[in-house]
């Protein structure tokens, strides 16, 4: 089967079988790299990277990957100032030009849904290198690769996602993939920094069990945990409470010493993320939040000997440098896996390699909602707010609820 010509904008654009095909090929790419083999699979092909936001790993690992495949690379870093975007050119027009030069495009942009809009206007594959606070699907591919390679499997593994789960795009793609691959997910996020509603809505489809906590520091400092459970955050319950039943009380309980050991005993992976300050209002907001989760030697001592500490990087204060020496610190190895994983992805999307799968389940393409003229996405960071030529489009979730085609935010209709 082939992945030739496909875009990768959301992790949900690929089925589990397709993701596994990328990871399997990444293993082959990895052994080719280890043997020092130069591949010429993509000779004569051109990769364009166009990044409107800073990047260290994503852009350079894509570029390294293409070089290792024998292809060539053109780079647009700081495209917000170096491209005609600075003169007011739209995303659609930029892509309509680049598709004439490139065989494949990797784009990063600060607006949610921007890379989906780019893909709509491109006849060559577009890969998202991250769109605003929405998703970062290729980071997820390498995160899954890391877990699979170092823990042997994803299914049944206990994975804790810690940090700014609201604004961090890496965890949005990752939590969906973990749910689909059957991992057991724990979320540890400061108050107001938990998973956004639209991600919870997507997760519902996978009937996944989420356990959520609000602080890691409480666990470490006192050997007990301030637990807010359940996080009654779904839109449905809020709507209900507005309907006169009052705001649901959050139960706060102090669990016994020993609970943390229990929690950590069950965690195969601790995945940390930084506070996404660039997506917060300026000022001190976030400082206290940042203090509430941090991994250091003390916490490491309480974790399993075979746990993996992961982080998409860059780190700020949530990951102490003293952790780096520990064999459980996987984050630099994780960043390294970005090259074979992105080699596999590029080679597959360019049709330079076919997957080894002879047939996989037919993909269901969801149909767009009809009669939505006048409905607009409520996400202030949605690309449809800025690029006004982009017609708002939605998927129907139920008769009262629509999901934005670009950024996945839900809109209630009456």
Interface contacts to ligand NCD, rule CB under 6 A: 57-58, 130, 136, 139, 169-170, 273-274, 312-314
Comparing CB distances to ligand NCD, the nearer of 273 and 292 is 273
Handedness of CA 283, 288, 293, 297 (dihedral sign): positive
**Smallest distance from the beta carbon of 49 to ligand NCD, in angstroms?**
13
Q: Give burial (CB, 10 Å; 0-12/13-18/19+) of 226.
A: middle
**Smallest distance from the beta carbon of 60 to ligand NCD, in angstroms?**
11
Comparing CB distances to ligand NCD, the nearer of 31 and 316 is 316
Angle value at C-alpha 104, between 7 and 108, nearest 5 degrees = 70
**Smallest distance from the beta carbon of 353 to ligand NCD, in angstroms?**
25
Q: Report the C-alpha dihedral over residues 23, 27, 29, 34, rounded to 10 degrees.
A: 150
Q: How far apart are CA 264 and CA 255, in angstroms?
A: 14
Comparing CB distances to ligand NCD, the nearer of 106 and 202 is 106
Comparing CB distances to ligand NCD, the nearer of 258 and 314 is 314
Comparing CB distances to ligand NCD, the nearer of 59 and 393 is 59
Residue nearest to ligand NCD (CB): 312
The tokens of 139 are what? 């980071």
Task: Check whether the bond before 314 is cis (ω within 30° of 0).
Answer: yes
**Smallest distance from the beta carbon of 172 to ligand NCD, in angstroms?**
10
Catalytic residues: 57-58, 87, 108, 136
Q: Are 103 and 124 in contact (CB under 8 A)?
A: yes
**Smallest distance from the beta carbon of 54 to ligand NCD, in angstroms?**
8
Q: Are 252 and 230 in contact (CB under 8 A)?
A: no
Within 13 Å of residue 290, how many CA atoms lie on the same side as its CB? 15
Comparing CB distances to ligand NCD, the nearer of 188 and 397 is 188
Comparing CB distances to ligand NCD, the nearer of 113 and 312 is 312
**Smallest distance from the beta carbon of 313 to ligand NCD, in angstroms?**
5
Measuring CA to CA, which residue among 204, 243, 242, 245 is closest to residue 410? 204
| CB burial string 372-395: b at 16+ within 10 A, e below | beeeebebebbbbbbbeebebbbe
Q: Which residues contact 112 (CB under 8 A, 6 or more apart)?
A: 131, 132, 133, 134, 379, 381, 382, 383, 406, 407, 409
Q: Are 280 and 167 in contact (CB under 8 A)?
A: yes
**Smallest distance from the beta carbon of 369 to ligand NCD, in angstroms?**
30
């Amino acid at each position: 089967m082939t992945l030739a010509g496909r875009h990768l904008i959301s992790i949900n654009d690929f089925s589990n079988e397709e993701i596994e095909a990328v990871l399997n090929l990444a293993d082959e790419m990895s052994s080719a790299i280890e043997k020092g083999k130069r591949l010429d699979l993509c000779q004569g092909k051109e990769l364009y990277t166009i990044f409107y936001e800073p990047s260290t790993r994503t852009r350079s690992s894509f570029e390294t990957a293409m070089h290792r495949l024998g292809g060539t690379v053109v780079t647009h870093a700081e495209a917000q100032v170096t491209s005609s975007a600075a003169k007011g050119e739209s995303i659609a027009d930029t892509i309509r030009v680049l598709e004439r030069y490139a065989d494949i495009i990797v784009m990063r942009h600060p607006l949610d849904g921007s890379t989906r809009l780019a893909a709509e206007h491109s006849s060559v594959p577009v890969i998202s290198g991250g769109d605003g606070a929405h998703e970062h699907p290729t980071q997820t591919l390498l995160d899954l690769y890391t877990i699979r390679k170092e823990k042997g499997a994803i299914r049944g593994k206990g994975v804790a996602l810690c940090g700014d789960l609201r604004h961090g795009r890496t965890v949005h793609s990752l939590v969906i993939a973990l749910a689909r691959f059957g991992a057991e997910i724990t979320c540890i996020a400061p108050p107001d920094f938990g998973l956004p509603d639209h991600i919870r809505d997507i997760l519902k489809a996978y009937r996944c069990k989420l356990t959520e906590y609000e602080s890691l520091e409480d666990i470490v400092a006192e050997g007990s945990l301030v637990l807010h459970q359940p996080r009654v955050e779904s839109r449905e319950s809020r709507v209900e409470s507005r309907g006169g039943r009052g705001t649901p009380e959050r139960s706060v309980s102090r669990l016994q010493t020993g609970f943390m050991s229990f929690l950590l005993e069950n965690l195969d992976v601790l995945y940390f993320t930084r506070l996404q300050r660039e997506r917060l209002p300026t000022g001190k907001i976030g400082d206290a939040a940042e203090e509430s989760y941090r991994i250091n030697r003390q916490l490491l001592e309480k974790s399993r000997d075979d746990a993996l500490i992961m982080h998409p990087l860059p780190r700020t204060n949530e990951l102490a440098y003293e952790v780096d020496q520990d064999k459980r610190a996987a984050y630099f190895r994780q960043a390294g896996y970005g090259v074979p994983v992105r080699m596999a992805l590029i080679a597959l999307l360019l049709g330079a390699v076919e997957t080894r799968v002879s047939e996989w389940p037919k993909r269901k393409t969801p149909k767009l909602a009809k009669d939505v003229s006048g409905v607009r996405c409520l996400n202030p960071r949605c690309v449809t707010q800025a690029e006004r030529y982009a017609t708002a489009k939605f998927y129907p979730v139920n008769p009262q609820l629509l999901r934005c085609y670009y950024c996945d935010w839900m809109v209630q209709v009456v």
